[in-house]
Each structure stands twice: as structure tokens, then as C-alpha cells.
Structure 1
Amino acid sequence: MNISLKLFIEYLQIEKNCSQYTVEHYHHDINDFFVFMAEEAISDLKDVEYSDVRIYLTKLYEKQLSRRTVARRISCLRSFYKFLLREKLVDENPIALVSIPKGEKRLPDFFYEQELELLFESCETETALGKRNKALLELLYGTGIRVSECCKIRLTDLDFYLSTVLVHGKGQKQRYVPFGSFAQDELESYIQTARKELLKSKEDHGFLFVNFRGGPLTDRGVREILNKMFDHSALHGKIHPHKLRHTFATHLLNNGADLRTVQELLGHAFLSSTQVYTHVTNEHLRRTYMSTHPRA
């Protein structure tokens, strides 16, 4: 690995406390830029100029990447060069003047309640892995937490008397999130039986969710589990962990929750991050009106 990239990855992991999933994205995007540098015969990060970055942008658009992906690549490189400047590994930031393309305004993708029922019904709970998967699905939907937050949960973070979980969020922030009776039942069943079986007599590391080898479940592991569950259900399309988070927020708002409460539960620093879900619920109201009002 390039020494500059190695230092940057360590900075993301140690100082910024980024999730493994985020680190992998940075690693991939910066490596892509290194491939471009090699194609353009640019041997050192110090030699990259603004004009080179413009050429790189053109190549990204030629690949027909979405504006969102291009924006992420540029934002990634900007952070990388800011770090290099701080460490005095380069003299200037050629990305600083590059404008990030505005992303398409897409509504969050979510499950309707009937769709979610199909997903829950497809879960088998006869095996230890099946019980773990059902508990995982109930917790993700029942709390709206991020996958990275879910993987950090320890047994000591759960309070079954108050039905709450202590969530370790972004930027070292912590919050308590309640969960319902469905999640509680599945979590208690998993912890009392399946988790012990999955540990396979290994020393208990304390993390709530365990993989099939007995180690802590990772972000990638959660994604693979959800994909397999989705494939075994009667649903069509794609699933991603954030879709359950979007579903959590949308269902709360559809059923009368106020925006501030949803903001607190999601752990959003700014209300504007939560307001995107009001567009989803407004669309839901519009469709309901159009399909039910006699004069629509």
C-alpha cells in the first residue's frame, strides 16, 4: 500500500473512528485515483495539478458514473489532500478549487409494512444462525440504528427492564434508543440459546452479535446476512441496511411521530437530515388521497 494512503487509513481508523465500511470506500476511491495517476504518468502526489484533476473528473463522467458517486470521489480526494497538507506531505491541495457536483435528490427507499411482514415471515428460527438473524432484523428495524452502530453493541449496552439500548454513534456520541416487544423477545431468545452456541466455547468478547466462527459480527457480515434473507423472501429488488433505517423513520412519521423525536432516535445532528423523510410521508399522503378521495 502507498505509504501516504497507509497513513491516511490509520488516521481514519484511529483519529476519526470511521467504520470499516467507510474506510473501505476511501481506500477504493483513492486507489482509483492512483490508477489514473499511473495512466497519466504522474509519479508523485505532489505533482498533481488542478488541470489533472479536471481530466480525472472528465474520465469519471465518461464512465457514466452517477453525480453522487463522482461527488463522493472528489470529497474523498479532498479529505485525503487535506490530511497530506496537515502532515506536510504535499505543498498544496489541487482538489480545493474543484466544485462537487450536486447529487440527484432521491427519496429514501423504504419497505411498506406488508413487504416487511414478508421479510420477517421468511426468517427461520430453528437454528442458532436463524435466531441470530431474526434478532438482528428485529433490532435494526425496531431501533433504526446504523449497521456500524449495531455491530458495536455489547451485552452490557442492553437494558431489558427499560427496553433500551445504549448506541455508540458517529463522532463518539452516545444515545439511548428504545426497542419494542418483538425485538425484546427475539433478543432474549437469541442471547439465552443461540449466542452461546455460536461462541463455541470461545472466550466471550462481549459483543451482542456473533458470526458463525464465534467472533464479533462485522458490517460486511450484516450486509451478507440481509442479502441472503432477502433472497429467501418473496420480495423483489434490492435490500441494503440503510433501507431498514429509512423504513423505521418513515413508518414512525406515517403513524404520527413528530420530527424532533425521529431526529433523536436516528441520532441526526441536524434536523435537515431528518426532514428528507417528510418528503416520503408527503408522497404517501398524496397517493392515499389520489386513490381514495371521490374528487381526486
Structure 2
Amino acid sequence: MSTALTIVESPMPPAVRQQDGDADLVRTWLGRHESKHTRDNYARQARRYIAYVDRPLRELRASDVLSYLATLLAQTPATRANATAALKSLFSFGHDIGYLPLNVGKVVKAPAVKNTLAERIMSEADATRLIALVPGPRNRALLTLAYGGGLRASEVCALRWLDLAAREGAGQVTVFGKGGKTRVVLLSVNTWKVLAAIRGDALPDTVVFASRKGDALSRVQLHRIVKAAAARAGLSADVSAHWLRHAHASHSLDRGAPIHLVQATLGHASVATTGRYTHARPSDSSARYLGV
């Protein structure tokens, strides 16, 4: 008489199931964010918090969040604000989809952070010098477009020649930007000439700014190019590719460009974001009317 072998699966412990659910929640939450920079930052913040509490997220209370944030008091306000924003986002998302019974992030307030935008806006003369001193035509065109078009680093790196088109003696560039939104930016005659000069016989589907391997430049490579240009021009070591975008916004507003036009060119979702530049570099002040 043969005996059949019966395999009875042991139920998975609740703690294990909960951990899997937490991991799925974090993955889904991260996937909602378009920016790779945001995803990487939020993933890092979530890992640190989960490692600290070492308990399933459904069991946590507001006191756990406050306790964790208290460990960051020695950090800068910006660092603490960053961590707070990430956790509040995670808890809100988890509660909204019904996974977390409570939104424990509601009681947490991010620390006030000084607006340092003004410190990251170079003068028009500095921006011009930074670009003019770049030795190679490819890199000079790269920084000219970043500044002249107000493009994000990721947008510049992803461009292909089919994204550029001549128009009325100058040209335009079609940008697939943040949030999966497409916008068209008209370029100045000078910016267009600098770009056209480096095309040669490149095919339409070829990347505009290729690396030595022939693929698109990475943001890290672009960052290095900007750092080298800043050093060559005697500017701050803090200068980054995004500083050129800040400079575009500030300088165009200084020259009288309407704020809604600057908003559309930069692809800001809200005019309030563009308005930060008017606050960072106001055109007048009541202090100038005093006799001291």
C-alpha cells in the first residue's frame, strides 16, 4: 500500500506578511514620483526611518515619528525638512490608499528653512564669462543652451537633433520635461547659431551632446563640465548646472520678460514657483528711499 506524501504549507507569520506589505507600499509610493532624484532621496529617507523604528508601519504612532526626527536635531534645518517631507508624503500616501490606519505624519511640522535661492543666482556677467571661457565648441554649446533655454540638466542631456528645429532665423527646442510634460522653447539667434555650428552631418535621431562612447551625456558628466567651467571662470565651487537655469529665470525677469512667459519657458507648474526669483532679486526696496 502506497502512502501519498502530503505537503502542508505553514501559514506565513503576520510579521513577515506585514514586512512584505511595507516594502510594496514603499515601492508603489516611490513609483509615483517622476524625478529620479526625488525617488532616490525618498528611498534613502524611508530606509533610514524603517531601520530606526524596526516595526511594521501599521503599528507606528506619531510619537515614533517625533522620536526619529529628534535624532536629527544636530542636522541642518534643510536636512530635517527633507526627511520630514519624505515621511509625511509616505504616510499620507499609505493612509490615502487604505494601507495605514492612521496618517501619523499629520502632527509633524517641517522646520523653517532659510530661502537661499539668492545665493545661487550668479550675475549676468558671471554667466557670460563662465560660458565664454569654455574651450571646446561642444561644451560651450551645451552650457549656452542650458543657460539660454533655461533647461534642466536631465532635459539637456536627453536632447536629440530631431528635437531642434529652425524657425524665423533662429530655432526652437522641444523638451520632454518633468512630470512627463512636453514644452517648446524658442531660442535666441545666438543660441541657435552655437548649436547649429556643432551639428555637422549628425542624423536626426542622434543625441545632441554625446559622450565619448556615443551615448547621451549623463547628469554626472554634465555636472563635471559645469564645475570645470566655474573653476575656469573663478566662480564658486558650488555652481551647478541648475544654477544656469536659475540665472536664466532671474536675468530674463530683470530684463523685463513677463513672469508667465518665464514660467512657460522653464516648465514650472505654478507661477508661484517662478515668483521666487522676483523675491530673491527684487527690483526695488523701501530701504532705498531712506536717507541712511
TM-score normalised by structure 1 residue count: 0.78
| Change beyond 3 A, Cα 1:58–1:226 | same
Q: Deviations over 1:154-208 (max 9, x none)?
A: 3221112351111222322222111123322332233327x78xxxxxxx96443
1:132 counterpart letter in structure 2: R
Give the one of 70, 73, 76 matched to 1:65.
76
Query: 2:58 aligned to 35, 40, 46, which one?
Result: 46
Distance in 2 between the 1:6 and 1:229 partners? 43
Amino acid at match of 1:135: A
Match of 1:80, SS state, is: helix
Q: SS where residue 215 of structure 2 aligns?
A: coil
Query: What whole-Å deviation, never above 9, does each CA across 1:134-155 have from its counterpart, x for those lacking one?
Result: 2210111001122233233332
2:189 & 2:60 partners in 1: Cα distance?
Answer: 56
By how many angstroms is 1:229 displaced? 2.3
Distance 1:132 1:27 in 2: 35
CA distance 1:271–1:209, shift in 2 (3 Å): same
The answer as to whether partners of 1:118 and 1:233 remain within 8 angstroms in 2 is yes
- Can you list the C-alpha shifts for 1:215-250, whole angstroms capped at 9, x where unaligned? 222333322321232233322341122211111111
Whether the 8 Å contact between 1:81 and 1:93 is mirrored in structure 2 is yes
Say whether residues 1:28 and 2:44 are aligned partners: yes
Shift of 1:278: 1.5
Alignment of 1:209-248 (within 5 A): 209-248=209-248
Over 3 Å counting, the alpha-carbon distance change for 1:46 and 1:132 in structure 2 is farther
CA contact (8 A) 1:8 1:83 kept: no
Provide the secondary structure at the position in 2 that maps to 1:236.
coil
Question: In terms of Rg, which structure is larger?
Answer: 2
Cα drift, residue 43 of structure 1: 3.1
SS of the aligned residue for 1:224 comes to helix
Give the whole-Å Cα distance in 1 for the aligned partners of 2:189 and 2:59: 59
Q: Indicate the residue corresponding to 2:16 in structure 1.
A: none
* 1:36–1:236 Cα change, 3 Å: same
Paired residue secondary structure (1:175): strand
Q: Does the C-alpha gap of structure 1 residues 226 and 9 become closer, same or farther in structure 2, counting only changes over 3 Å?
A: farther
Structure 1 118/89 Cα, relative in aligned 2: closer, same or farther at 3 Å? same
Deviation larger for 165-174 or 228-237: 228-237
- Aligned counterpart, 1:128: none
Report if the CA contact (8 A) 1:142-1:180 is conserved. yes
1:98 corresponds to which of 96, 108, 111 = 108
> In structure 2, do the counterparts of structure 1 residues 7 and 221 end up closer, same or farther at CA, with 3 Å as the change threshold?
farther
Query: What is the number of residues matched between the two proteins?
Result: 269
Name the counterpart of 2:260.
Answer: 260
Is 1:185–2:193 an aligned residue pair? yes
* Residues 158 and 165, structure 1, Cα contact 8 Å, conserved in 2: yes
C-alpha contact 1:205 1:216 (8 A) present in aligned 2 = no
Unpaired runs of at least 5, structure 2: 1-18
Alpha-carbon spacing, 1:11–1:47, altered in 2? closer, same or farther (3 Å): closer
Which residue of 116, 119, 133 maps to 2:130? 119
Question: Which residue identity does 2:215 align to in structure 1?
Answer: G
- Shift of the 138–52 alpha-carbon distance from structure 1 to 2, 3 Å rule, reads same
Q: Which whole-Å CA distance do the structure 1 matches of 2:259 and 2:143 have between them? A: 24
Give 3-state SS (helix, strand or coil) of 2:235's partner.
coil
Check conservation: 1:123, 1:134, Cα contact below 8 A: yes
TM-score relative to the length of structure 2: 0.79
In 2: Cα distance, 1:33 partner to 1:258 partner: 44
Q: Which amino acid aligns with 1:246?
A: H
Alpha carbons of structure 1 residues 286 and 152: separation in structure 2 relative to 1, 3 Å: same
User: Which residue type is aligned with residue 47 of structure 1?
Assistant: E
Change (3 A) 1:251 1:208: same
